[in-house]
Amino acid sequence: MSNEYDVVVIGSGPAGYVAAIRCAQLGFKTACIEKWLNKEDKTVYGGTCLNVGCIPSKALLDSSHKFVEAQEHFSAHGISVGKVAIDVPAMIARKDKVVDQLTSGIKGLFTANKVEGIEGTGKVVGANKVTVTSKDGSQQELTAKHIVIAAGSVPIDIPPTPIDHETIVDSTGALEFQEVPKRLGVIGAGVIGLELGSVWARLGSQVTVLEALDDFLPVVDRQIAKESMKILSKQGLDIKMGSRVTGSKLSKGAKKTVTVEYTDKDGEQTETFDKLIVAVGRRPFTESLLDASVGVELDERGFIKVDEQCATNIPSIFAAGDVVRGPMLAHKGMEEGVMVAERLAGKKTQVNYDLVPSVIYTHPEIAWIGKNEEELKEAGVDYNVGLFPFVANGRALAANDVDGMVKLLADAKTDRILGCHIVGASAADLLQQIVIAMEFSASAEDIGLTMFSHPALSEAVHEAALAANGHAIHIGNRKRRK
């Protein structure tokens, strides 16, 4: 086996495996290094997203949502199912099966595209050299014309609540509970905390979410955030804002509990939980990845410094995904992976960083793109607002799933869509219509003049666009401007 390549990619998460496949499709001899080991101690591809992130969490979210549907909502449809029970180990096993299928799929894609998968831990030791350390400790050196670093990210630990992987867990451990905790604490009311908290709340946990910030989902439009908070609280999530964790104590005995100490506006508080999930964010995985002699620049938070085309300060080295600036989102990493591959081939591909959609996969989902009202006000932009609630949508009523709304923001002068914010069923899928529209600089009128299927949830998007110009049909039109 030759150790010389055109491109060596470190990491096979969304940014890495996509970069490797696209490089191979463009004619580059490509290798992709991966160190991830599954429960059977075998190397698997897909990184955090497929193994312990996006995919397994959505599998559990879907399973737990079906449980709630059967337990609480089937009767509205005239369906009686008797007592509903949850088999947690079976649910976890199903999640593992989904993960296995997708990680095996990446391996198959590598084979089909002639990407050489290399098992082990990669380290950049030169502008064109990478060492790979196998799990048995043996090493090999690869040379490459270009190196793409896509090593991903890892959960952030905080000193007050050290992870013991049993009672106090990170997001990975929260995917492996074998029974429903009676009392569950979650530190962090961000995407990960809300999604994992939702899973176990649906299955019967008393869930308390402790968030240090005073504002709920500060990056989300305030009206949508307020509505989301109301819905999630109604579902049983006890979200305590302005609660800063200061310490924790594990009990003694076979079945441990953890008492969390925190401060809020009323002073020092304590809560005791059977399990505690620490979900305060993630950090780039760059330690032990780069030999200092190579000279790749990092910022103060450990991210690899790159330009808009994901090039580092070393001409032969690129970086993409969670190890670089911007939101830690799989789809952002995938697009960067494609961009890097195509630029290596001489193409002028760009990523539109102004249009990176964000989604929280609670139920209802929370999704947004572009600017929110607060940002537009701060920038002094004159804008129109179109709102449409799902309770006025025929398809949502038929499905008995009417929580939430669509909010569309358009420039008051040009009518160009500036942002869209949705809380509701299938918000992620509905938002994508507006992402595409904004990519082509569409106006609210363009969406309003487009024919939508009936009945469909997407009609709420249509009506919100109409409402931005005072033309909504299925709801009263209100004052349109800020």
Looking at the DSSP bridge assignments, the partners of residue 278 are 187
Q: Is 73 a catalytic residue?
A: no
- Cα(143)–Cα(392) distance, rounded to whole angstroms? 61
Return the structure tokens found at 296: 């790749």
| Distance (Å, whole) CA 131 – CA 137 | 12
Residues with Cβ < 8 Å from 5, sequence gap 6 or more?
28, 29, 30, 31, 116, 142, 143, 144, 145
Place of tokens 């666009």: 465
The answer to whether the peptide bond before residue 455 is cis (omega within 30 degrees of 0) is yes
What is the rounded CA–CA span in Å between residue 461 and residue 452?
A: 9
Rg value, the chain, Cα: 24
- Contacts of 122 by beta carbon, 8 Å cutoff, 6+ apart: 8, 10, 11, 33, 35, 130, 131, 132, 151, 289
Query: Minimal CA–CA distance to 460: which of 449, 452, 471, 450?
Result: 452
* Token pair of 40 as six digits: 């059977």
Nearest to 116 by CA among 25, 35, 37, 32: 32
Under 8 Å between Cβ of 363 and 425: yes
3-state secondary structure 12-33: CCHHHHHHHHHHHHCCCCEEEE
Tokens of 467: 């409402």
Location of structure tokens 């509990």: 257
What is the amino acid identity at position 85?
A
Residues 396 and 402 sit within 8 Å (Cβ to Cβ): yes
Place of tokens 């670093």: 149
Catalytic residue among 421, 454, 462, 474: 454
DSSP states of 130-143 as a string? EEEE-TTS-EEEEE
- Measure the CA angle with vertex 133, ends 32 and 287; round to 5°: 85
Residues with active-site annotation = 454
